[in-house]
């Protein structure tokens, strides 16, 4: 299966990754190789098989916790880790003109 640079650019946009021209070329080749390897899964007979999305202890049961308010992390401690913040909120570049 051939992957061209336009496809790589489309996927990179979905993934919010800026790619250099070199990156585009490299990822096109790498994606093609991995997808070639993964092709083998098309040979497996999966008729009537249900997809397994949860690998955990379904039989043990996954209880929902009581819906009661609990203290959350202190705002100033969380905002202190942001690249840009004021005393109340995260700051981002303008999104509306």
Partner 1 sequence: MSTLPLSQIVDALARGDTTPSKLAAESFERIAKLDGKLHSFLRLTEAEAHKAAKASDARRAAGKPLSPLDGVPIALKDLFCMDGVETTAGSKILQGYKPPYDATVVRKLKEAGAVIVGKLNMDEFAMGSSTENSAYGPTMNPWDLSRTPGGSSGGSAAAVAARLVPGTLGTDTGGSIRQPAALVGCAGLKPTYGRVSRYGVVAFASSLDQVGPLAQGSRGVAMLLQAIAGHDDNDQTSSPRPVPDYAASFAKGVRGLKLGVPREFFGEGLDPEVEKSVRAGIDKLKGLGCEVRDISLPNSPHAIATYYIVATAEASSNLARYDGIRFGHRAKGGANLLELYEKTRAEGFGNEVKRRIMLGTYALSAGYFDAYYLRAQKVRALIRRDFLQAFAEVDAVIGPTSPTTAFKLG
For partner 1, the binding residue among 2, 21, 63, 88 (CB under 8 A) is 63
Query: Taking Cα atoms as reference points, which of 2, 23, 22 lies closest to residue 12?
Result: 23
For partner 1, the binding residue among 21, 69, 77, 86 (CB under 8 A) is 77
The CA dihedral of 46, 47, 53, 59, to the nearest 10 degrees, is -110
d(CA 97, CA 85): 21
d(CA 28, CA 8): 6
Shortest Å distance, C-beta 83 to partner 1: 4
Residue 2 near partner 1 by CB under 8 A: no
For partner 1, the binding residues (CB under 8 A) are: 7-8, 10-12, 14-19, 23, 27, 30-31, 34-35, 37-38, 40-42, 44, 46, 49-57, 60-65, 73-74, 77-78, 80-84, 90, 92-95
């Amino acid at each position: 299966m051939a992957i061209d640079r336009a496809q790589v650019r489309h996927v990179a946009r979905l993934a919010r990754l800026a790619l250099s021209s070199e990156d585009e070329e490299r990822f096109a080749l790498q994606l093609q190789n991995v997808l070639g390897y993964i092709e083998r899964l098309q040979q497996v007979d999966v008729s009537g098989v249900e997809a397994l999305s949860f690998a955990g202890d379904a039989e043990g049961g996954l209880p929902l916790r009581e819906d009661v308010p609990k203290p959350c992390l202190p705002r100033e401690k969380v905002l202190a880790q942001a690249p840009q913040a004021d005393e109340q909120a995260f700051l981002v570049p303008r999104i509306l003109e």
